[in-house]
Every structure is written in C-alpha cells, then in structure tokens.
Amino acid sequence: MEHALIPPAEIAILGIPGMVLALLISVVGIAAFGYIIARRLIPLAKGASDPRFDRFPTRIKNVLLYWLAQYKQPRYRLAGILHIVIFIGFLILAIRSISLVIIGIYPEFVFPGLDGTAGTIYGVLKDYAATAVLIACVIAGVRRGFFKPDRYKVPAKYGKEHTWEAIFVLGLIGGLMVFESLFEATAVAAQVQQGAGAELIAPLSLGWLFSVVLGQVPVPALQSMHAASYFLHDIVFFFFLCYLPFGKHFHVISSIFNVIFSKLDRGRIKPVQWGVSDEELDNLDAFGVRYLEDFTWKHMLDFYTCVDCGRCSDNCPANAVGRPLSPRFISIKARDEMFDRFPVLGEIKPREPLMGRVFEEDAIWSCTTCGACEEECPVMNEYIDKMVDLRRAMVEEGQVPQSLQKPLGALEKRGNPYGKTEKKRLEWTQSLPEEIQVRVAGSKDQPATLYFPDSATSFDERLQDIARSSATILHYCGEDFGILGKAERDSGHEVRRFGEEMLFQTLRDANTQAMDKSGAQRVVTSDPHAYNALTKDYENIPPAQHMSQYILEKIQSGAIKLRPMQEEASVVTYHDPCYMGRHNLLYDTPRRILDAIPGLTRVEMERSRDSSFCCGGGGLMLFYEPPEEEERMGQKRARMIAETGADLVVSCCPFCLTNLEDGIKTSGMEGKVRIMDLTELVARHLDWDQTESPEAAESTGSST
C-alpha cells in the first residue's frame, strides 16, 4: 500500500535521518535496560540458595492461573478489573510496541504471522486494547489521586506517600496509548484526504477518534504529528522500560518469574538453610536472616516484585488490631534497602544488620503466621518463611521478647510451655466416664491409633474438654486408641515458627521416638497446629489426621450417627482456623460435619474460608505480649461473628476456642454468642442408641 505520509525512518530530524535516530534510541534504550537489570540481579546472586527448579507442570499451571488469568485480582473488585484490563491490554500491545520500534529502522517490517487477515484482526484488537487501557489508566489515576483508597496510605513511620509514583506511571502508560494511536490516526487521516484506501481503524477506538478529529488537518501538519508521535512513543517506551526496575512497577517484568518460582508447599517452613541437613546444622556459623544477603534469592525477588498494593496489610490481623506490623512495608522497606545497597549507578554499599534499621523486632514478633497476606498477594509473595528466618537470627542473638522466654524455657525443661510436670499430661482423662478408657501407649500397650492432644489441650482446663470429647468420639467409633501420656512433648509447631529451630528439633525427635515406641499405625489430633506439624514438619511417623477428617470419614461410613441439633442455637457459623484452612485447605471437611447434624442452620461470615481472620494465634503466640495493640484479634473476630446473627460459633482448634471465647467475653457478647469446638459439638450429638454405652452421652461435654 502506498504511504500517504513519509514513514519516520525516512524523514530527517535536525538533519539526522529518522532511521539513525530510531536506531540510536533503541540501542541506548536496550543497553540501558540490560545494564539496569544486570545491576538489579547482583543482590539475588549474592542471596542464599533456594531450590525452585522442580515440579514445572505445577509451576506452569500457576503462571497460567495467577499470572495470565490474574486469578487473585478480582478479590478486590474495581482495582482487580482495572488491573486485568491494563494487563491484557499490555499483552496485546506488546507486539504493536515492538513492531513500532522496529518500523523506525526497517519501515517495511511486519510482525511474523501478522500479515493479511491476522494482521487486520490484530489491528482492530489492539486499537480497542489501547482505548481500554487508556480509559482504565484514567479511572485508576482518578482513583489513586482523588479518591485515595485507605490501603494505599503510607503511615508516617514508613516514609512518604507513593501516590506520585503510581500516577506518573499511569501517565506513562496513557502516553504510550495516545502516541501509538496518534501515529496511526495521522496516517489514516492523510490517506483519507488523499483519497487513498485507508487502513482499517476500529470504530470508536482512540485511534479512530483521533483520525476523525484530524480529518481536516493539512497533510504537512499531519506529517509532523506522525513523526513526532512516533519518536515520542519510542522515547516513552524505552524510558518506561528502564524506569520499571526503579519502583513498584518492577512487577511488570518480574511478576511472571515470581509466580513461576513461587512456593508450592503450603504450611511448610523452609529449612534453616537449603541443602543443609539437620545433622549438619551445627556446622553453620549463623542461623536466619541478619543481613539482606541472608535472604534467599527468591525472597529478594519477592521484594522487587511487591506491587505496593496493600492487600496483604489490608488483610493482616496484626495490622488490623494496631500491632506494629504491616507486611506491605516488610517488602517495600526491604526493596528500598536492596535499591540503596545495590544502586544502579555507584558503588555497592557494605552490609549492615537489618534489625532496628530496616525492620523492627516487634513487627517481626507480631506475626501469627496466619497466612492471610500470602493468600491475598496477587504476585504470590511469601511472608511466613521470611518472618521465621528473621526470628531465627534474633533467637541466635538472644533478642527474644521477655514474655516468650519463660514458655521457651519451660518447653526446653518440661516439653510444654506452661512448665507443668510431665505426669500432668494425663490429668484430663480423669474426669472421663469409667467406660471410656484412655490407654497410655508405649512398648507394653500398643493401640493402633494414637490421639495426640498437644500441650494446650492437655493442660488448659477449658481446652481439656476437647481432649475428652475427642476420646469420647474415638470410643464411640470403637477405635483401638491411646495417648503417649508422659512421653508426649509439645509438637513444637510454634517453637519452629518462632525461630527456635533446635528446640523444635529436640521436641520433634522426642515425639518421633515415643510414637515409634508406641507402635501406633496412625495419629489423630484435635489441634490443627499439631496436625500441620505432624504432617509437614515431622518425618518417619505414622500418617496423621485431624479429628475433623476422622469424624467425616466415620459419618460417611455410617459409623457415626448424629442426633438432631441439641444446642439452643438458632444459627451456627463456622470460624476457619488458619492451620485448617489456608495452610491445609480443609475448608469443607468441618462444614460437612456441621451440615450432617440434622436441624443445624449454618451461615457464613464475610471473612471466611481463605480470607478467614486469625483469632490471635496459637502456641507461643498466646504468651506474647505485643507492645502496641488497640484490641485483641479475638475481639475483632467476635464482632464479625456477631454480625452474622449466629448465636453459636464452631471452630476446630484449641487456640481459636481460647481466643474467641476471650474475645466474646471481653467485648460484651457473653450470653449472646457461644463458642464450641467441633469435637465438643459432635460428642454431644453422638447417637448412643446405636451403640452399647449410653451413659457416656450424658457425661461428656458437660463443662461448656
């Protein structure tokens, strides 16, 4: 087709041939971008190892789901949709932008595969894409600059607002769209004026609009605008590319890699150092993350990729109750440290400890490891492993809050955080009815199933009812079961997550040995934290189940028959414990059990399933005294429970029971809302008519 306008490659600007200028811009742009990326990779190369080059089918599936399909974006409706429009627009326009850059050097260039019909279809598609992206940018800009949603606010202690950066980038994107469209529209307008057949330009698109407006503009003016829009597009394109690695828009480049290499094992904690076995740990000079370089390369990639969208902090329960933790700023501050220590221009600065400078100790101890931040992050950033690594270094340095030192000391001496003597682990069995025998498993007596209550359920008076209810259910099912008794130690789940790895290993080894000696073929526990520990942190023990899994199996096999709803509750809601739901995806198991009780009406909280709100945390977190806190997480959650109109909330974790019961009592809801553990509810609804020991029905669960 004859060109009505001279292509940019063939004109001269200030005496310089367009082709030379375009080539120059491209070469400088690509070289600068290459250099910037190379510099940005330096800290990653210095980071700790992290094996992420396995299970590629799963990784590719993740890329398709979380990157290409933007699966997590619509969790925030408007922002999510705007992002999807801009993202998809970018993918479509990437081809056009690359073609444009090359056209400046080779005017006849056509992107491979885009000649003929495919090219025409693509042309229409990209016209609308550019229009949609521009509209999305304008809406996003107005939203960021005018409406300013709360989650983008930057508290004074974390530095200045990031609004300008967001709007500037939106402006750059908008500019790209405008110049691209203008470049095409000027050509079309000129062709129309000269009566030549115009290229198809999508009606009502941005380019179409420009071509209509420019219809009467004389050709020489169109020629100037044509060239100007071309070179402005070229300059903005390369400027944008080189600007990305300087802020939160780094994610445009890095998010695909971040998703490919994202963590695949829920609920698992990374080892102290990848590739170092437990036996070799004593040879390590230091544990955990003290300096930036102690983070793994993937954790540093997380920092680069953080989009600063604030979804993590918006969902963080610690942040919600005013604890000094904002996961967003864990990433942003670490990223700023990376930028500062490893600048693009100038010398690399010497390392300095992160704690007290980049991070605050209290922020790191405030995390309950509930996983809400990770669930929400659209680019799959990790937080829990980083918290644990930072804690490991603090434990090594002795920087452990005073409130945690006593329970840690007791765990070391007595194997439980309360400092109770080992023989008291059996105390909860004493008030069981006579016919329910809880045997102590050991080398002499070897029941097939081991019930593992863990410390809180063994020693806490209120929580002992969970153990008794569990024993009642196991007895009802005719299970051949026992407990480890004095030989049981704390599962160490929180000990590991609070960074005291060696103490965790001591506890784990003691339990492993005791389980081995007991000859048990399987373990059941009523504590999701213990369940998570036994299935993720332990090796060489019998397979473990949570009580809810056991109960559901027995309901489905017909071994458990449930009586109609006995509780005086009109509506029941279920609270998802973090280590049932997010860390183990057991969302439906407990709900199915509730639904199996005839006459029970169940409602959902707004924050349920994978966006459940942590009750306040378990294990050592019960002992931690945060220096700042406006209210307890349990109190906040109690209000969310009340909002559903439910008068009974059921959970299946001892810590949820403790924290929510406290929360209900201390926020004036006592008498209006009650809480029960799932095992308590099930134990009270067992239909004993179908078995031979009816007395047990009356005598269990009486303390609630």
Partner 1 sequence: MNILVCVKRVPDPAENEIEISSDGSDIEREDLVYSVNEWDNYAVEEAIQIREQHGGSVTVVSVGEEESEEVLRREMAMGADQGILVSDDAFEGSDGRGIATILKAVAESGDYDLILTGAQSDEGAAQIGGMLAAMLDQPYASLVNEIQVQGGTKLQVGREIEGGNQEVSEIELPCVLSIQSGINEPRYVGIRGIRKVSGVEIPEKEASDLGLSEDQVGQKAARVKRVDYFHPEMGEGAEILEGSTEEVAEKLVELLKSKGGMK
The site for partner 1 (CB under 8 A) is made up of 281-282, 287, 395-400, 402, 404-406, 408-410, 412-414, 419, 421, 423, 461-462, 500-503, 506, 703
How far apart CA 365 and CA 353 sit, in angstroms, is 17
- Which residue lies nearer to partner 1 by CB, 469 or 545? 469
> How near is the Cβ of 462 to partner 1 at its closest, in Å?
8
The pair of structure tokens assigned to 258 is: 């971040």
Closest by CA to 165, choosing from 262, 85, 243, 103, is 243
* Bridge partners, residue 648, by sequence: 572, 674
- Which residue lies nearer to partner 1 by CB, 301 or 503? 503
- Which residue lies nearer to partner 1 by CB, 263 or 462? 462
- Which residue lies nearer to partner 1 by CB, 566 or 704? 704
- Which residue lies nearer to partner 1 by CB, 169 or 487? 487
> How near is the Cβ of 398 to partner 1 at its closest, in Å?
3
> How near is the Cβ of 572 to partner 1 at its closest, in Å?
23
How far apart CA 540 and CA 519 sit, in angstroms, is 12
> How near is the Cβ of 394 to partner 1 at its closest, in Å?
8
- Which residue lies nearer to partner 1 by CB, 570 or 703? 703
- Which residue lies nearer to partner 1 by CB, 460 or 527? 460
The pair of structure tokens assigned to 160 is: 């200045």
- Which residue lies nearer to partner 1 by CB, 397 or 629? 397
Contact between 80 and 73 (Cβ < 8 Å): yes
> How near is the Cβ of 278 to partner 1 at its closest, in Å?
12
- Which residue lies nearer to partner 1 by CB, 461 or 689? 461
How far apart CA 657 and CA 650 sit, in angstroms, is 8
Residue 49, CB-side half-sphere exposure with 13 Å CA sphere: 7
Alpha helices in 460-613 (DSSP H): 464-476, 493-497, 501-518, 528-532, 547-557, 588-595
- Which residue lies nearer to partner 1 by CB, 185 or 503? 503
Contact between 305 and 255 (Cβ < 8 Å): yes
> How near is the Cβ of 288 to partner 1 at its closest, in Å?
11
What is the three-class DSSP state of 121?
helix
How far apart CA 442 and CA 519 sit, in angstroms, is 8
What is the three-class DSSP state of 677?
strand
> How near is the Cβ of 438 to partner 1 at its closest, in Å?
20
- Which residue lies nearer to partner 1 by CB, 420 or 561? 420
- Which residue lies nearer to partner 1 by CB, 295 or 365? 365
> How near is the Cβ of 452 to partner 1 at its closest, in Å?
23
What is the SS3 assignment for 287-345?
CCCCCHHHCEHHHHHHHHHCCCCCHHHHHCHHHHCCCCCCHHHHHHHHHHHHHHHCCCC
How far apart CA 496 and CA 326 sit, in angstroms, is 22
> How near is the Cβ of 412 to partner 1 at its closest, in Å?
7
> How near is the Cβ of 331 to partner 1 at its closest, in Å?
27
DSSP assignment of 196-219 equals: PPPPP--TTSHHHHHHHHGGGS-H
How far apart CA 510 and CA 488 sit, in angstroms, is 8
> How near is the Cβ of 242 to partner 1 at its closest, in Å?
46
> How near is the Cβ of 483 to partner 1 at its closest, in Å?
20
Q: Give how far Cα 309 sits from Cα of 83, 172, 221, 384, 528, Å.
A: 11, 19, 43, 19, 31
DSSP assignment of 612-628 equals: PPP-S--GGGGT---S-
Q: Which residues contact 419 (CB under 8 A, 6 or more apart)?
A: 406, 407, 409, 410, 413
* 306 class by beta-carbon count within 10 Å (0-12 exposed, 13-18 middle, 19+ buried): buried
> How near is the Cβ of 697 to partner 1 at its closest, in Å?
22
> How near is the Cβ of 436 to partner 1 at its closest, in Å?
20
DSSP letter at 271? -
> How near is the Cβ of 79 to partner 1 at its closest, in Å?
42
Q: Would strands 439-440 and 522-525 be described as parallel, antiparallel, or unpaired?
A: unpaired
In the chain, helix, strand, coil percent, each to 5? Answer: 55, 5, 35
Q: What are the backbone angles phi and psi of residue 16, rounded to the nearest 5°?
A: -95, 130
Distance of CA 681 to the CA centre of its chain: 32
Closest by CA to 536, choosing from 651, 418, 388, is 388
- Which residue lies nearer to partner 1 by CB, 462 or 561? 462
- Which residue lies nearer to partner 1 by CB, 547 or 675? 675
Amino acid at 69: A
Q: Would strands 439-440 and 648-651 be described as parallel, antiparallel, or unpaired?
A: unpaired
Contact between 36 and 250 (Cβ < 8 Å): no
> How near is the Cβ of 385 to partner 1 at its closest, in Å?
19
